[in-house]
Amino acid sequence: MPRAFTASGAVTSSSRTEHPAVLDACRQLEREGCAVTYLKPGVDGIVVPAQVEEALRSDTILVSLMHVNNEIGVVQDVAAIGRLCRSRGVLFHVDAAQGVGKLALDVERDCIDLLALTAHKVHGPKGVGALCVRREPRLGLVPLLHGGGQERGLRSGTLPTHQVVGMGAALRIAALEMAADAARITRLRERLWQGLAALPGVTLNGHPTRRVPGILSVSIDGVEGESLLYALPGLAVASGSACATSTGEPSYVLRALGRSDRLAQSTLRLSLGRFSTEADVERAIEAIVTAVSRLRAIAPGSGA
């Protein structure tokens, strides 16, 4: 969207812990001449409104912030930041991929001008998402794709009707189930955390309470990340971000929170969803505790 303004060197503010879908777009905007400010979250993963206010400049046109972090699950105060942006005449974009269907958002109340979401995070089909665009006053978006003029000229190309219908159905179910799902999944996540916290040397990543129900990120001292994942064959867990594991690099999100490279590499991201059960959680706790204890027992300094 800021492409229309790059000639004037306009500023976009974002967080260092955004998803690559946003960070890579920001870097492309920088290559095109747009200045971007990357805010550093606190050790709890939260970007506070005062940081955004301090970063705003007279030529800032856009602030982009994720609602829920995909790796550590913390929830940003998009309502306060939205009001701030609106009061300063700055457009506000929210990456709501992880939060949609799990936490309530109101684009009108929260002063959100642009909101991006994806279907597959709410049990919908992969390959389809949506960008909610404030209708009035018009934002003057510039299309990236040309040819056909679909979607009010913003994204040309024939729409995949089956995907769109699937996304709509998934979002409708998510809205109906959201309150019950949130309460139940939060209880499961708390039980999971309690079970893992019984191990020494386990650290919760992110704010302890401002969290989405279904994501738990823990760093486990004294074990090597690849061996830990190897030892958990029955669990679909990720070490750091699933989007970054192919690189072998420690998670940039965890590093932004001040975690050492070693601890970042021995981090597990555990995701819970609508179909997770108490039995699943108990099995996960037992498997992780057993694996960690076994690996620690063979590590130098274990006294074995």
Partner 1 sequence: MSDADPRYGAEVRARMASLAGAGRFAPSPDVAPGRAGDREHGAEVVLTCRVIAGRVEEARFQAFGCPHLVAAASWLTDRLRGAGREDLEHWDWREVADALAVPPAKFGRLLTLQDAVRAVAGNWPGAAASTV
230 binds partner 1 (CB under 8 A): yes
Tokens of 37: 């400010």
Cα-to-chain-centroid distance, residue 292: 27
Per CB under 8 A, the list member of 30, 32, 106, 261 interacting with partner 1 is 261
Segments of the chain assigned E as strands: 11-15, 35-39, 60-66, 91-95, 114-118, 129-133, 202-204, 215-220, 238-239, 267-271
229 binds partner 1 (CB under 8 A): yes
* Distance in Å, CB of 304 to partner 1, minimum: 5
200 binds partner 1 (CB under 8 A): no
* Distance in Å, CB of 269 to partner 1, minimum: 15
Give the C-alpha separation, 4 to 17, whole Å.
25
Per CB under 8 A, the list member of 17, 265, 271, 276 interacting with partner 1 is 265
114-118 and 238-239 strand pairing: unpaired
231 binds partner 1 (CB under 8 A): yes
Nearer to partner 1, 37 or 239 (CB): 239
Alpha-carbon distances of 153 from 162, 164, 279, rounded to whole Å? 21, 18, 49
300 binds partner 1 (CB under 8 A): yes
CB 221 within 8 A of CB 203: yes
Per CB under 8 A, the list member of 146, 172, 283, 294 interacting with partner 1 is 294
Mutual orientation of helices 278-297 and 161-197 as an angle, nearest 10°? 60
User: How many residues bind partner 1, per CB under 8 A?
Assistant: 23
Contact letters for partner 1, residues 139-178 (x by CB under 8 A): ----------------------------------------
Per CB under 8 A, the list member of 7, 262, 277, 293 interacting with partner 1 is 262
Closest alpha carbon to 90 in 49, 150, 146 = 49
CB 290 within 8 A of CB 195: no
Nearer to partner 1, 143 or 222 (CB): 222
Nearer to partner 1, 176 or 299 (CB): 299
For the annotated catalytic residues, the residue numbers are 243
Sites of contact with partner 1 (CB under 8 A): 222-224, 226-227, 229-234, 260-262, 265, 294, 297-302, 304
